Amino acid sequence: MRSFQLPNYYSSEIIESARKIRDKYDPKKKDISPTIIKLKGLEFYIGRHFGFCYGVKNAIEICYKALKVYPKSKIYLLSEMIHNQLVNNDLLQNGISFIMDTMGNQLISWDKIKKEDIIIIPAFGTSLEILEILKKKQISIHKFDTTCPFVSKVWNRSELLAKQGYTIIIHGKAKHEETRSTFSRCRKHGPSIIVENIDDVNELCKIIRNKNQNKFLSIFQNKCSNSFNIDRDLIKIGVVNQTTMLASETKKIINKFKDTYSLLYGDSTKHVANTRDTLCYATNENQDSTLELLKHKADLSIIVGGYNSSNTSHLVELSSKKIPTYFINSEKNIKNNTIRHFDLKLKKMVLKENFLPQESCKIILTSGASCPDVILEKIMNKIVKIRRQKLSKEEVLNTLEKYYKK
């Protein structure tokens, strides 16, 4: 596995050392049971897989290298590097400017962007239309394209499916940068539709059965390629992902399409492409790890990451079904025994007093793919301090070493 040079303040002592101990005794990472840190009356169940993934590390490394190598250049990011407020704020403070927000709204006019400026493409990738703008401005992006390789893999899969005559169904959030990037490529190669959830798929399957073009346009007009015709373009389909979606929902979506085409044609194999899952490895691992965490009896769960992070939000959704769950982006959200957390359903911050039980407490702690390990460690230290305990690095690591050496 390639190593990355990231700013020291993103690193942690206990979390990273604990991860190394796990990897030493389980190098293939087949054991996805949590790492358990026990103190008096307090236990932390930390996910086996969490935090910065390959694509995020690569993107952050390229950003900070650009700042170091080109100190006199004006450096721009097309939009947020990753969906983590703390990382993006740090980049802003170091002099990088964002050309667009996460919804694609222009923050800096293209007229102000010059040929000699450095433009960094974020891990989500960007659309063909944006690439054309950069090309016309003669801006080279080869060194500064941080597009995640797993996103590129989805683009390649989509192109291949289109060449085989399949209409591409993109399971993703229509306004998300990655889905917009994928959609721009898919519609170049052939008919394409974005479905955001199983409700969209249920409606689309009704349309496939009933052949209602007007109904289709009323629901998918802004989520489909130009001149989309349901009689012509819904005979053969292939499903690909925004890489950070819930794997379980993608499986439901594919099965729903298979059932629909089986009813129509008796056999779905010629009508629904046999696509393998296009979720990235980190998304799969983090979701599986979170499900494993939830098998353990705990009092509460703390999920850490950016509030607009798709992959982190899905971890919150999984956890919320089983246990009281708090979605935060920093240890600053915790003060005494009060936690200020983001409520996904209400789409706003909510205060919860006395969130820690009075007696012994077992806490699930994990994070999304765009969260630095150091934030988990700061949260753990904050809770330990509230419970008037001490967190000794040596003690914790010695205990873990003895346990996993067995």
Parallel, antiparallel or unpaired: strands 118-120 and 167-171 = unpaired
Q: Are residues 103 and 219 in the same domain?
A: no
List the structure tokens of 174. 């229509």
In a domain, 2, yes or no: no
pLDDT at 277 over 70: no
Q: What is the pLDDT of residues 318-337, one digit of tens each?
A: 999 999 999 999 999 999 99
Q: Which of 178, 196, 331, 377 is catalytic?
A: 178
- Residues 214 and 200: their CA atoms lie apart, in Å, by 15
Q: What is the DSSP string of 132-180?
A: HHHHHTT---GGGB---HHHHHHHHHHHHHHHTTPEEEEES-TTSHHHH
Q: How many domains does the chain have?
A: 3
- Residues 154 and 186: their CA atoms lie apart, in Å, by 10
Give the DSSP letter of residue 114. Answer: -
pLDDT reported for residue 392: 92
Give residue 229's domain range: 149-265
In a domain, 273, yes or no: no
- Residue 217 has φ and ψ, to the nearest 5°, of -65, -35
In a domain, 72, yes or no: yes
Q: Are residues 74 and 40 in the same domain?
A: no
Q: What is the pLDDT of residues 75-111, one digit of tens each?
A: 999 998 888 888 889 999 999 999 999 888 999 999 9
- Residues 47 and 100: their CA atoms lie apart, in Å, by 34
- Residues 382 and 13: their CA atoms lie apart, in Å, by 15
Q: Are residues 97 and 164 in the same domain?
A: no
Query: Is 178 annotated as catalytic?
Result: yes
In a domain, 275, yes or no: no
- Residues 75 and 98: their CA atoms lie apart, in Å, by 9
Q: What is the pLDDT of residues 13-27, one digit of tens each?
A: 999 999 999 999 999
Q: What number is the average pLDDT over the span 146-166?
A: 95
Q: What number is the average pLDDT over the span 288-308?
A: 96
Q: Measured on CA atoms in the order 306, 311, 313, 319, is the torsion positive or negative?
A: negative
